[in-house]
Amino acid sequence: MFTMVIRRRQSLPGLSLSGTGDALDRSTIREATRNFSEANVIGEGGYSVVYRGQLRDGTMVAVKRLKKYYLTDKGKEDFSREVGVMSTLRHVNLAKLLYYCREEDEWILVYELMENRSLNLYIFGTRCNA
Ligand SMILES: Nc1ncnc2c1ncn2[C@@H]1O[C@H](COP(=O)(O)OP(=O)(O)OP(=O)(O)O)[C@@H](O)[C@H]1O
């Protein structure tokens, strides 16, 4: 997950560094994802399962929940690095890190939800049919 951020950082114009993600408690995240409902799962990576969620103010979010077996020193180190890097990056083509949760066995990143659109659409403003 870290490699992709660095690559984009080097190649995308208009990238700026600003702001920080804030801590959010797990009960708020549970509520936003309907207790991490299977129905809310929108993706899965090597490190995490990603859920669609809605905060009380209506903001739609992508909740990236670190897998339990990845709660190792290495996993926590990678997680902390992602918080550190993503909380300072701002670009129209990067999902914004809004919040994070780091409570005992629950390590979560809360991103701006990138709705069902292709990367080409985000970057070039057009659909790619190739
Ligand atoms: N902000 C987002 N908005 C919408 N969907 C997302 C968002 N972030 C992640 N996803 C979905 O969740 C999937 C897994 O995310 P991601 O690849 O970041 O997880 P990861 O655990 O870091 O995986 P890895 O490091 O192995 O690639 C993505 O392929 C995508 O479908």
Catalogue all structural domains in the chain, each as residue range(s) with its CATH number.
Answer: 22-124 (3.30.200.20)
Considering only CA atoms, which residue is closest to atom 17 of ligand 1? Answer: 45
To the question of whether residue 64 is assigned a binding role by annotation, the answer is: yes
Residue type, 78: D
The predicted model gives 36-64 an average pLDDT of 94
Whether pLDDT at 9 is above 70 = no
Using CB distances shorter than 6 Å, the residues near ligand 1 are 1, 42-48, 50, 62, 95, 111, 113-114
The Cα–Cα gap between 26 and 4 comes to: 27
Query: Quick check: 81 and 2 in contact, CB under 8 A?
Result: yes
Tokens for 126?
């057009």
CA-111 nearest atom, ligand 1: 1
State yes or no: ipTM above 0.85: yes
Question: Which of the two residues, 53 and 93, has the higher pLDDT score?
Answer: 53
73 vs 43: which has the higher pLDDT: 43
Q: What is the pLDDT of residues 67-110, one digit of tens each?
A: 988 888 888 888 888 888 877 777 777 888 899 888 878 889 99
Residue 41 has pLDDT above 80, yes or no: yes
